Chain A
Amino acid sequence: MIRFKQVTKRLGGRNVLDDLSFEIKKGEIFIIVGPSGTGKSVTLKHMVRLLTPTSGSVWIDDTEISAANGGELDRVRERFGYLFQGGALLGWISVADNIALPLREKTKVSEEEIAQRVADALRMVGLENDGDKFPSEISGGMQKRAGLARAIVRRPEIVLYDEPTSGLDPVTARTIDRLIKRLNEELGITSVVVTHDLQGALLSADRIAMLNGGRFVEVSEPKTFVASDQPEVRGFLDAQFISKKGLAGM
């Protein structure tokens, strides 16, 4: 469904992505891990053409999004929901209005239905009492959850999550993990998740990819991933006290 063909992206004088090729299948939860500053967010941004490859191409089904423009680009983007690392809510409208924004601006849904869907989305992320507040009045973790609600309110086919659980307490983090899993199972949403939290990743992923030095040094199912002998992967797993046997419940 999402295919990178030999994507190289040059930023600030170095190749952040270096000849990166992979494919994400429809309906899977694909998790990208990797050290800070290796280009995980950059990879996500290529999927919706917020960045364009220096060379290579990015395909969403049969559309080359890295070359799409105008109406074609809009149509592809409409299939996506995107949770930004910082939430990216608009500061001068309330949380509920932020979540309603994509419905109000781009669909003809009635105000009652919008209210209903916004309330549903708020409840899903545990913010049912905070809809009337402004983004500056809620915490960073709550802003991120509100951003998540906005990303899914239009029921997109594909959702890109940039660190959905960082900055959240462990309990809320697991709730979000379960939410991602539930959206995937119930609505068949294809999910691409960038995270540092391997524990959560191992429990929900279909496949995990480790980005390092502009390429995936390992792409595999959780069971294979924890058993990997790649030094970068081992270092990452060791740092989170995960042994080759993996986690209970995997």
Chain B
Amino acid sequence: MITREPTYSDAAGNAWVGVWRAAVLELGSIGRAGSMTAQSLVMLPLLLATRRSRRELARQLYITGIKSLALITIVGMFTGMILGLQVGLELRRYNQELYIGSAVMVSLLREMGPFMTGIILAACVGSSMAAQIGTMTVNDEIAALEIMSISPVRFLMAPRMAAMVLMTPILSFYTCVLGVIGGGIVGLTQLNVPWAQYINMAMDVAHLRDLYVGLFKALVFGIVVTSVSCYEGFTTTQGAVGVGQATRRSVIVSILLILVLGYIITRLFYDL
């Protein structure tokens, strides 16, 4: 069963028992969330099997990709502009502002592109996933699916997972491109760096490896956001209040995991 059965135990005798129980519960949740994630990833090819599931996938792609496009455009642009400005001001002190192209490109490709994409998807796509699935849970809709032997993981989570897995790398790349443009605009208008020179410098340091690592990071973030949001949704209890809590927790946990995993992946791929 995917919905959470209320786990109740009598009040803990002392604080340590309480902490121990909380830890056991938490480990259990991580286990279940992990197994749901694995299941939904394994099911991805099935999504192409029937017309209805292909249509559902298209709908999710639209929700994930197109609906967050405007926000991602603005955020990507401004991230690049801020980077360009901050780095540019610093470099100008040494008359090196020509190099802002490299600085903007490297930080976007390696870190800021995937990071910003992940945060935005957690805030706008993940939260609505958690709210929608959470509402379905408290309205017994998930239970109804289970009784009909329709797996909620296959029916609800897999299409969302597929959409995220396909979209995050694309959106992350898009953020990088817009960020580089944004940095270029700042360079051109505020630091008098000619466009051609800016692009030259930027492309000079744009290594494929950085791009791949960045896109891989984005992919991981997409999986994390979907898993956390769907898990929070499926385990919602206590009506409307519970839906609110599930939504809030999905955003918080996603963002924390994005930060921590972002660091770990960087650490793995870039040895000092």
Contacts and interface: CB of A to CB of B under 8 A. Distances in A.
B66 interface: no
A90 B139 CA distance: 10
A6 to B, nearest CB: 19
B272 interface: no
B143 A104 contact: no
A101 interface: yes
A250 interface: no
Interface string B137-167: 0011101101111100001000000000000
Interface string A5-19: 000001111000000
A102 interface: yes
Chief secondary structure at chain B's binding surface: loop
B267 interface: no
B1 A102 contact: no
Contacts of B136: 90-91
Interface in B70-126: none
B143 A106 contact: no
Contacts of A91: 136, 141
B53 to A, nearest CB: 10
Interface stretch (A73-81, A177-185, A186-194): A73-81
Q: Which among A48, A49, A80, A84 has the highest number of chain B CB atoms within 10 Å?
A: A84
A90 B149 contact: no
Q: How large is the interface on B (under 10, 10 to 19, 20 to 34, 35 or more residues)?
A: 10 to 19
A85 interface: yes
Given A10-B8, A12-B6, A13-B8, A88 B149 contact: no
Contacts of A49: 1
A89 interface: yes
A85 B150 contact: no
Interface residues of A, number: 29
A82 B147 contact: yes
A109 interface: no
A105 interface: yes
A77 B147 contact: yes
Q: Which among A51, A52, A85, A150 has the highest number of chain B CB atoms within 10 Å?
A: A51
A89 B149 CA distance: 15
Contacts of A106: 148-150
Contacts of B144: 82, 84, 88, 147, 150
Contacts of B141: 88-91
Nearest to A73: B149
A12 B8 contact: yes
Nearest to A82: B147
A102 B3 CA distance: 20
A64 to B, nearest CB: 16
B140 A101 contact: no
B113 to A, nearest CB: 32
Interface in A65-109: 74, 77-78, 80, 82, 84-86, 88-91, 101-102, 104-106
Interface of A: 10-13, 45, 48-52, 74, 77-78, 80, 82, 84-86, 88-91, 101-102, 104-106, 147, 150
Given A11-B6, A50-B147, A88-B139, 4 more contacts: A12-B6, A50-B1, A52-B5, A77-B148
